[in-house]
Amino acid sequence: MESVQGLLLAMIIVAFGTTTHLIQAQPNPNEFISLDCGLHPAASPYTEPLTKLTYTSDANFTQGGQSGRVQKIYEQDYKPFTVLRYFPDGIRNCYNLKVTSGTKYLIKALFLYGNYDGLQNGPKFDMYLGPNIWTTVDLTSSIFGSDKEEIIHIPTSSSLQICLVKTGKTTPFISALELRPLRDDTYNTTSGSLKLIKREFASNDFIPPFIRYPADVYDRQWDPISPSFEFNFVNTSLIINASTPYELPQEVISKAVVNQNVTEKLSFDWYVDDRNDHAFIYLHFAEIQTLRGNDTREFDITWEGDNQNFTVSAYRPPKLQLETLYNPYPMKCKFLDCTVDLVMTKSSTLPPMINAMEAYKIIEFPDAGTNPEDVAAVQNVRDTYELSRIDWQGDPCAPQMFRWEGINCSYTNTTIPPRIISLDLSSSGLEGVIASSIQNLTLLQELDLSNNNLSGEVPEFLANMESLLLIDLGWNSLTGPIPQALRDREKKGLKLTVQGNPNLCLSASCNNNNKKVSIPVIASVASVAALVALLTLFFVFRKKTPLAEGTAAATTRELPRKSSIYSKKKRFTYSEVEELTDNFKRVLGEGGFGVVYHGSLSDTEPVAVKVLSESSVQGYKEFKAEVELLLRVHHINLVSLVGYCDEGGHLALIYEYMANGDLKQHLSGESAGSTLKWASRLKIAVEAAQGLEYLHVGCEPPMVHRDVKSTNILLDDRFEAKLADFGLSRSFCVGAETQVATVVAGTPGYLDPEYYQTNWLHEKSDVYSFGIVLMEIITNRSVIELTREKAHIAEWVKILISGGDLEKIVDSNLGGDYDSNTVWKILELAMSCVSHSSSDRPTMPKVVNVLKECLISENSRIRGQVQDDDSKNSLELTVAFGTQVTPDAR
């Protein structure tokens, strides 16, 4: 047990009455944000009679919700907050507040149900600060249906989103929302924000029921201490010097509590929700009694925590002077009960005394919000076009389950801000010119503004957005010529769609005198005739060539099976990397390692170039591991390494280009293609499993991938699956030693719990992760989803399997087009892969065999359903497993 002597005394040792505190600026109530939620704008603003603070309507701070009023029998008790705002529509509804970044705020939310809906059923819902959950508001068991949530929080940007999230059948609501700036030198923590548990002062007088502004300049609400027959209360009419950073009201600090039995310790309890919660206690003291000559008030302060003790020995409160003591770092309580004891010392003649106390628990906010520049840009787009989509509230990308409709984002890990990579505003009723703020979405890859009423010219700034791969401006009212710079971008792979704009000039050189209208018309007719002729020839001579499924525009042209560059792995200079990426012109994505760029060799063979950033958390060790692995192994289902660069601090990996992104994109709908059919999913699963099997049994020495997940299963132009990202891979021995001790690494949700608990890495750790991928393939559900009964997909699937209802498990997008026997077999395989004990999990060769059998069965089912081969337009899947399944390492 750790004991810290005198630790609290040093916390807030104030130079009493110094100039610093005398000139400390008082909080300005004009900086307060006070919203009476549901208040009609015509009744705003008004002066609240108790605090004399000005409250305004919340109408301009949220775009959703409706106004309600508590029933009359509650009005007297709930004044002045008798109206409220409830949110019957949408899942997440948010308030957007302008704040000062880096300023510490006291944030308060008030909920007064008052049976406003006549249902006599208080709701339960979640509250979020930005992308992170703050608290759960639960009024289901409250007699009066009221609650108050309070947190001390430092926003990291100038915009703060406070969101109410529907988690069940009841409707979220809110009565009041208040923000109060605090001093920077108060309520400090090493991490996280402080959620209030209790704030009490030594008073047994319940009239008034609490103290707040203007007595408390920061508008903290002080409640009378819980009554006890063991307490005596004392007070003074003398002025207490409270000029400390915490600046408690005279009404609070001029009162104190002592025990009736002077030999008994004075104890204060509070409770936390979880044994892992960490807490802070703030104890406020001032000696307010006149001590006689021989009187001494001296006591020890102790807090026995879980494996930690805090102790202040022989503490004496300063006479008529406020002093605040607190623990300098978070404490875990024993079980759920936190207790601070004040114990009289042997040399003391008077019992312990305290004036006020505050208790908080730490709330961690680990998830980063969307890149601020992207947020500002997309909000500007929303405001420009006056979009009122119910789900365009809060953070655009985070958390993923509340991502804005029509927006796709790149996600790496929770600490890296997501970036917006796709914006789809088709059929959104847009009018006016193309918003210039779109160009501030600097990593945007796809832009769809089709089927609107946009006017004006096509802006040239679109050509300067180097990440753009697709622009759809079709079916608008655009005019003028297409910028030459955009035409030049088309030659380098940009897909530009502009049909349906009758006044848009499509020829190479445009003039406006309309004298040569017949030329483009004739050209168009000729083009159509040529196209018809080509299509006729195609349908006459076409053969049964399998098509890639899942893309909006599948192609039938035969592509080279494998480029020659993939067998010529080599070391590149940095100047060569610059050249093949055209000076890092086109960004494909961004991750913890760095930025991935599009490149090409000899302008014909595309590659993906991953450049290590100087602040990379993956670092040189992982870079080296990936190079060493991929230079010595080769398999058709592992992403090939073309080469690497390690020159003068410049590190880069050059891979074969995987044109169809990752499996997660196609399951979640982030890609523009159609839903992956069941046979396609099985084929991808087989191919990914073969890549993993090769690492386990085909390599010498065998390898463990350590980060198997759906975003690391990439798809090439033929929709063939390849395993990627080997920076965390580790080798292990065979025979007696089949596991190795390592620092735990991987992705939450996919991480083997046995590996996490023991630090012993095993090939079966990859099997567990692959089992999670199989569940994603079957269900198309997130691995971690906080809103369902069981957040983790394995636990959720286990519950549904016990009920035997396959339709609740399988992705509804499949429309029932699958053999239930095959699905059950894959489910059984997935569940065996995620067994808690690694010894109960199958090997990857066993996994591959089961998957092959299921794919063959599914292909047989499909062929049996097809009556006319020439009418088929879906992907015909075949299984071709040859000697490449486990080739020799090289």
Binding-site residue ranges for ATP: 610
Mean pLDDT of 614-627: 63
Residue 4 scores a pLDDT above 50: no
Give the pair of three-digit tokens for residue 454. 């946009």
List residues forming the annotated binding site. Answer: 610
Domains in the chain (CATH in brackets) are 3-18+200-363 (2.60.120), 28-181 (2.60.120.260), 372-510 (3.80.10.10), 663-885 (1.10.510.10)
DSSP state of 727: T
Q: Is the pLDDT of residue 314 over 50?
A: yes
Side-chain half-sphere exposure of 406, counting CA atoms within 13 A: 19
Residue range 565-591: average pLDDT? Answer: 79
Residue 671's pLDDT band (boundaries 50, 70, 90)? low
Looking at residue 228, its pLDDT comes to 66
pLDDT digits (tens, 9 = 90+) for 824-833: 999 999 999 9
> pLDDT class for 206, splitting at 50, 70, 90?
low
Residue 869 falls in the annotated catalytic set: no
In this prediction, residue 736 carries a pLDDT of: 35
Higher-pLDDT residue of 190 and 351 is 351
Please state, in angstroms and rounded to a whole number, the distance separating the CA atoms of residues 466 and 488: 12
Angle CA 571–577–578, to nearest 5: 155
Residue 251 has pLDDT above 90, yes or no: yes
Tally of CB atoms within 10 A around 626? 23
Output b/e per residue, 659-680; b: 16+ Cβ within 10 A: bbbbbbbbbbebbbbbbbbbbb
Q: Residue 413 phi/psi, 5° resolution?
A: -135, 175
In three state form, how does the secondary structure of 44-107 look? CCEECCCCCCEEEECCCCCCCCEEEECCHHHHHHHCCCCEEEECCCCCEEEEEEECCCCCCEEE
In the predicted structure, residue 306 carries a pLDDT above the cut 90: no
pTM of the model: 0.57
- pLDDT, tens only, 723-781: 988 777 776 644 434 444 455 667 889 999 888 777 777 889 999 999 999 999 999 99
Q: What is the pLDDT of residue 508?
A: 55
Taking residues 438-444, report their average pLDDT.
Answer: 95
> Is pLDDT above 50 for 558?
no
- Per-residue pLDDT tens for 9-50? 333 333 222 223 334 456 788 899 999 999 999 999 999 998
Mean pLDDT of 125-144: 89
For range 117-140, the mean pLDDT: 93
Amino acid at 129: L
| Contact status, residue 318 vs residue 286, Cβ threshold 8 Å | yes
Catalytic residue among 126, 219, 374, 707: 707
257-281: average pLDDT: 86
Specify the pLDDT at position 621.
63
Compute the average pLDDT of residues 541-549.
Answer: 39
Condensed to tens digits (0 to 9), the pLDDT of residues 463-474 reads 999 999 999 999
Name the phi and psi angles at 590, rounded to 5.
-145, 135
Q: Is the pLDDT of residue 553 over 80?
A: no
